[in-house]
């Protein structure tokens, strides 16, 4: 009888502990963290959403392609770097190619992309920066280098009938400095640049 009572008491203690910790860690903690996120960093807590007017057009953290129905790059838009995530910038299939720098397939892909980017922008293959021909580790990087953005100015300006100096000034105004002044490299967010480009045309 004493053993049964002890077993029941032990189980009841375990059940109460489970209920208390479920409420504290599973409910209260989630509410507190969500509230702090919404109050202190609402944009980041909601996915760093980018809007055009009232319409959500993407996230500042996830790149996207600017292509036609056949997957060809649209010349009137700034283009992102290549993506190895699914069919390109698929947030559900984040990945890189995992090829090493001496992989024959990667080398061939880089040479092919370099020739294509050079022809598309009317420049020498030697002027094509590395990020124009290589995917990021996640395949979702929304940024390109200022060099790649500036490389595209002449094409974009020509396609839109805008002065090159005006488009170049737009790119330069969108260059994001190194984090904390020394981490990483300067970058340009392609989606935000293209939204600013659309606004520039009115």
Nearest to 153 by CA among 57, 68, 78: 78
What does DSSP say about strands 175-176 and 187-189: parallel, antiparallel, or unpaired?
Answer: antiparallel
Whole-model pTM: value is 0.80
Is 202's pLDDT higher than 60?
no
- CA-CA distance, 132 to 173, in Å (whole number)? 20
What does the chain come to in residues? 202
140, 89 contact by CB (below 8 A) = yes
pLDDT one-digit tens code per residue, 160-199: 999 999 999 999 999 999 988 889 999 999 999 999 999 9
Give the tens place of pLDDT for each residue, 123-151: 999 999 999 999 998 989 999 999 999 99
Tokens matching residue 76: 């009137």
- The phi, psi pair for 57, rounded to 5°, reads -110, -5
Answer yes or no: are the C-beta atoms of 157 and 164 closer than 8 Å: yes
Within 8 A by CB and 6+ apart from 92, the residues are: 86
Rounded-to-integer distance, Cα 140 and Cα 85, Å: 7
Report the pLDDT value the prediction gives residue 133, as an integer from 0 to 100: 96
SS3 160: helix
Q: What is the pLDDT of residue 109?
A: 93
Instruction: Give me the mean pLDDT over the 50-56 stretch.
Output: 82
Number of alpha helices (DSSP H) and beta strands (DSSP E) in the chain: 8, 5
Instruction: Check residue 34 and give its pLDDT.
Output: 84
What is the predicted pLDDT for the residue at 43? 66
């Amino acid at each position: 009888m004493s053993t049964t009572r002890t077993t029941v008491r032990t189980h009841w203690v375990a059940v109460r502990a489970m209920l208390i910790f479920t409420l504290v860690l599973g409910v209260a903690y989630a509410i507190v963290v969500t509230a702090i996120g919404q109050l202190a960093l609402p944009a980041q807590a909601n996915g760093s959403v980018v809007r055009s007017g009232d319409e959500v057009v993407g996230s500042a953290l996830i790149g996207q392609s600017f292509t036609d129905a056949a997957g060809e790059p649209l010349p009137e838009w700034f283009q992102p770097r290549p993506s190895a995530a699914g069919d390109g910038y698929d947030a559900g299939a984040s990945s890189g190619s995992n090829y090493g720098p001496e992989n024959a397939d990667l080398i061939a892909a880089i040479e092919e992309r370099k020739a294509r980017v050079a022809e598309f922008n009317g420049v020498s293959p030697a002027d094509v920066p590395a990020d124009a021909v290589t995917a990021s580790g996640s395949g979702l990087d929304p940024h390109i280098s200022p060099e790649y953005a500036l490389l595209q100015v002449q094409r974009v300006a020509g396609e839109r009938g805008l002065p090159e100096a005006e488009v170049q000034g737009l790119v330069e105004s969108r260059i994001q400095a190194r984090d904390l002044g020394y981490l990483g490299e300067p970058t340009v967010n392609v989606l935000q640049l293209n939204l600013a480009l659309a606004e520039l045309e009115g």
